[in-house]
Chain A
Amino acid sequence: MQEGKVLPAAQINRDLLRSILETPRWFWPVVSILGLVVLAATITIGIMINTGLGITGLNYKVVWGFFITNFVFWIGISHAGVMLSAILRLAKAEWRRPATRAAEVLTIFSLMTAMIMPIIHTGRPWRILYWAFPYDFARGIWPNIRPPLVWDPSAILTYLTSSTLFVLIALVPDFAVLRDRTTGWPKIVYTMLAMGWEGNPRQWKLQIIAGVLLSALILPVFVSVHSIVSWDFGMAVAIKSWHSTVFAPYFVVGAVHSGVSAVVFAMILLRWAYGWQDYIRHEHIDALGRLLIVVATGWFYFLVMEIIFGIYGLEGDELAVRALQFLPGEYGVAYNVWMIVFVGITYFLPVILWLPKAWRRNLWIMSAACISVNVGMWLERYLLFVPGQANKQFLTFTWNDYLPRWPEALIVAATFAFVSMLMLLFSRVFPLVPLYDIKEGDILRTEMQIGRRKLTATFRED
């Protein structure tokens, strides 16, 4: 199933490098607005570090709030990268081609954003330098490797490193194209980045081997990163509804759900912004939509299982948290309403929108479904983490709810601006749709006569 025409290589270069060689009129205004939001949040973080976490809405009971929710959300988004490039590459899915780099770059930027969150969330962020960058095993000062909070940076930094390598290796042939088409100091930079790429068979062979190897090596990271993030919660014995063994697969599938949705939305935006109608085609969005139905249904299964496992034990405290989550509350925030909204916009609404083929090919409907999934997945994390803490545990005297205050809201909003800004800036410097990958797909494509129909198919020898 491949549509669209085979374009000449020169036109592919011209179209896909347009974002780099020409500046669209909207570019700098949009980047400036995003930059202003990021600046405001940076100042807020400064104020927060200066005066303390008192300016947030956290209290003695709910000590992990918006920041941790946002951390898990962005880690989740980052899972699109491996899913689309590594797994689909190994599975030889042809329709992955235009999406891979956007997904990997989104991975890198969302990981970077995610890592800011737990650091600014701590009481004394400047002290984190002692343990995360890098953790001081050698001198054995405080060698406590038991907490999941130490596994987190290890897993995330591994993921960040391997994703960056992945993107760089895939970029080398495109750097060479850019090197040949630029002048002045950009040419010098691209020359260095291209690392002497000439496009001879040996280089291609090594590049492909490196790509496949990295795909295979990145697969364990795909499972481990979000599992480890989920253990931040799963390992906590004292908070009911967190202490669950199903968290690791549940989080991983949820991460793919939100991550792939985010990539679809980013691709639709890029297609519209840079006029890449010939490259990011309806067939690609369609295929991603079908993948998303499967992922979403897997995620829904784990959601239901998580709730069933929670209720199954019939422990009073666990049931109290579940009651707080699902039943009309007598206390402050109506978590049950949010719960219905969250399940609706994360599973039922988008899956209904993805089911008809015509709707999958309608970019407006796809965008709406993907935004809805991501709003829902953000809510999911919030509803997983906060009611467990807000619930009256065994002994505490008071119930405590949590209402975020403006610094948290602003910083969370700014993370979205930050990632968008980085993506836009990246698209100005590097091609966001891999040139060589598109060309490779076109070369491998052949027409096949089956009965009376002519179909396009891809043949390759392995």
Chain B
Amino acid sequence: MPNAQFEHKWGMVADLDKCTGCQACVIACQAENNIPINTKDYFLQRRAYEWIRIERYWEGEYPNVKARFMPVLCQHCENAPCEPVCPVFATYHNEEGLNVQVYNRCVGTRYCINNCPYQVRMFNFWHPNWPARMENQLNPDVTVRSRGITEKCTFCVQRIRRGELQVEARDGNRLNDETISGGNYDPACVQACPTNALMFGDLQDSNAAIKPYFDDVNAHPGHGEHDRETRGYRLLEEMNTRPSVIYLKKIDKYPLEAGH
């Protein structure tokens, strides 16, 4: 560990009221994490994948219709169903609350994919290829995964590590909201989001902006979404996976008209 002196527990808040479904996070993630280009072939084979995807839901009937968007990424569950089923410990929980994937260990049993209720784990069916000149833009901090392994969102662990090295180990200061966003240490999706719908932070830091949302959701466990002061909820709370990502409900200023 680069920093023994500070403890972290990383978390994210996705404000669905701000999300416009623009997919900037998807592209940022694709570029940051050396994810193979989703070609037409990949789509036709139904093997195209993203580490963060925008789910779109239609509500109502035309013409009285609304589109809802929800970014779904690895929830970094505290009680992750994918972790106990890996025979080689390729996925485990690290001390910073991250659900990490060790590509070298992975043998590709794909049990974790089946056991993930959020469907964010993806299998590499082919060896990744980029057009020759695009290989120059691969991120040197991120492994290019070979075929035959499972991969998923890491909360851009390479950026977190860089922050821990540059801010904590070198300067001796604890990472906080300001230094994280100031030094570009937050995940690529958070950085790219034009409406700031995604917020990233450290739950061990009492001043973190995301902390009140987590406190509120943790104080009212279960389905008590109406008991909560914020709009916060977790995805599939009833499965007790305890995700490190919290979603904030969309506010309907103009609800769908009834009777249509």
Task: Report which A residues bind B (CB closer than 8 A).
Answer: 52-54, 58-61, 63-64, 118, 121-125, 127-128, 130-131, 142-144, 146-150, 232, 235-239, 242, 389, 393-398, 400
Contacts and interface: CB of A to CB of B under 8 A. Distances in A.
Given A52-B124, A54-B147, A237-B239, 5 more contacts: A58-B125, A122-B107, A127-B108, A142-B105, A236-B115
B107 A63 contact: no
Q: Which 4 A-B pairs have the closest CB atoms?
A: A123-B108, A123-B148, A59-B46, A146-B84
B116 A60 contact: no
A396 B127 CA distance: 24
Given A52-B147, A63-B113, A123-B108, A147 B85 contact: yes
B111 A149 contact: yes
A54 B125 contact: yes
Contacts of A147: 84-87, 111
Contact of B48 (A60, A122, A142, A239): A60
Interface string B68-89: 0000100000000100111111
A38 B149 CA distance: 28
Nearest to B116: A238
Contacts of B125: 52-54, 58
Contact of B53 (A61, A122, A394, A397): A397
Nearest to A232: B111
A99 to B, nearest CB: 36
B219 interface: no
A54 B47 contact: yes
A123 B114 contact: no
A397 B56 contact: yes
Contacts of A242: 114
A438 to B, nearest CB: 45
A123 B89 CA distance: 16
B110 interface: yes
Interface in B132-183: 146-150
A123 B109 CA distance: 7
B110 A63 contact: yes
B45 interface: yes
A239 B116 CA distance: 8
Contacts of A400: 46
Contacts of B130: none
Contact of B85 (A52, A148, A389): A148
What size tier do the contact residues of chain B reach? 35 or more
A395 B235 contact: yes
Contact of A395 (B72, B81, B150): B72
A244 B36 CA distance: 36
Interface in B88-107: 88-90, 105-107
Contacts of B147: 52-54, 123
A230 to B, nearest CB: 14
A61 B113 CA distance: 8
Contacts of B88: 127, 130-131, 142, 144
A146 B85 contact: yes
B49 A236 contact: no
B257 interface: no
B114 A124 contact: no
A123 B110 CA distance: 8
Interface of B: 45-49, 53, 55-56, 72, 81, 84-90, 105-111, 113-119, 122-127, 146-150, 235-236, 239
12 contacts: A54-B147, A58-B123, A59-B47, A60-B123, A118-B109, A131-B88, A149-B109, A242-B114, A393-B119, A394-B235, A398-B46, A400-B46
Contact of A236 (B85, B86, B149): B85
A131 B126 CA distance: 24
B123 A149 contact: no
B46 A123 contact: no
A360 B217 CA distance: 65
Contacts of A127: 88, 106-108
Contacts of B89: 142-144
A242 B81 CA distance: 14
B107 A131 contact: yes
Contacts of B239: 237
Contact of A397 (B55, B150, B236): B55
A147 B83 CA distance: 9
Contacts of B47: 54, 59-60
A242 B106 CA distance: 24
A395 B114 contact: no
Contacts of B123: 53, 58, 60, 63, 123
Nearest to B117: A238
B87 A53 contact: no
A124 B85 contact: no
A398 B45 CA distance: 13
A339 B51 CA distance: 35
Contacts of B49: 60
B148 A53 contact: yes
B233 to A, nearest CB: 14
Nearest to A152: B87
A124 B150 CA distance: 11
A398 B117 CA distance: 14
B244 to A, nearest CB: 17
A101 to B, nearest CB: 35
Contacts of B235: 394-395
A111 B220 CA distance: 51
A58 B114 CA distance: 13
A75 B160 CA distance: 46
